[in-house]
Amino acid sequence: MNQSERLEYLINYLLRERGISQPLPNSDDERFRLFRALVNTREPMAASAEFLTTQDEYLTKYIAEQGITKASELPRCSADERISIWQGDITLLDADAIVNAANSAMLGCWVPNHACIDNCIHTFAGVQLRMDCSNIMNAQGHEEPTGTAKITPAYSLPSRYVLHTVGPIISSTVSESHKELLASSYRSCFELADEKGLESIAYCCISTGVFRFPNDLAAEIAVKTVRECLDHAQSVKHVIFNVFKNVDKMLYENILG
């Protein structure tokens, strides 16, 4: 199958799961939006081997066509050569692990075609990721506490693993507890990667944006915590701070050069 045929198969499979029969949009772009919306709103459940194979072939090729960046080739910071700052799409980064800013349910974003990192990671990893997270949460028996982390395979993503962490949400002023919880999110992800024997980990800007943690303070906490972790690491040798906004890029560059 070519990419158009794979996409058509995937959409029809997902529609049949719901007992829906409808004509598909004409363009591949419109069809991809429909595919993504169906994935975003799909309950965590098993899929056929044929579906998973076709999905992985489609997503792997789709991601490759966007252009994959190798973490190992990123320039290092002048203030600390163990660290890189990279402005780009974390779902296109070939690192041992990437960090997902999750919510306490840990099942990904359910809003169709939402642009948040949680939605993007779950979309491009494939439906297996939500199933894995559901199994973890069912075994745990309660929502994920703030400041902790879980690790799963990354499936169709270029990275090998995804580290899911719940950062603190700021409703008014930032307390000392909020600061420690944010540091704990960075530390928990690092420790899981280190225990797994991974060498590179890419962090998103945890708790900034809709979680309203001030960007400048979050960057300071992130850099301080990660450098302390690197000082005692067993396997992790390279940390990438993945920034999306220009303001975050500037903040990390001011700290790290």
Bridge pairing between strands 83-87 and 93-94: unpaired
Give pLDDT, residue 169: 87
Residue 150, beta-bridge partner list: 164
Helices (H), the chain: 3-17, 28-40, 49-66, 117-125, 127-140, 176-195, 215-231, 246-256
Average pLDDT estimate for 227-249: 96
Could you give the percent of the chain with pLDDT greater than 70? Answer: 100
Taken in order of first residue, the domains within the chain and their CATH numbers are: 3-65 (no CATH), 70-256 (3.40.220.10)
Dihedrals φ, ψ of 205, to 5°?
-85, 85
Dihedrals φ, ψ of 239, to 5°?
-115, 135
% helix, strand, coil for the chain, step of 5: 50, 15, 40
Do residues 221 and 72 lie in contact, with contact meaning Cβ atoms separated by under 8 Å? no
Using CB atoms within 10 Å of the CB of residue 159, give its burial: 0 to 12 exposed, 13 to 18 middle, 19+ buried. Answer: buried
pLDDT digits over 58-115, tens only? 999 999 999 999 999 999 999 999 999 999 999 999 999 999 999 999 999 999 999 9
Per DSSP, which regions of the chain are E strands? 69-70, 83-87, 93-94, 97-101, 149-153, 161-165, 200-203, 238-243
Confidence of residue 210 (pLDDT cuts 50, 70, 90): confident
Which residue is it, tokens 């966007």? 66
Does the pTM of the predicted model rise above 0.85?
A: yes
- Please tell me the total number of residues recorded for the chain in this structure: 257
pLDDT digits over 154-184, tens only? 999 999 999 999 999 888 898 999 999 999 9
Residue 5, beta-bridge partner list: none
- Give CA–CA dist 56/39, Å, rounded: 13
CA-to-CA separations, 241 to 28, 32, 143, 227, in angstroms, rounded: 33, 29, 27, 12
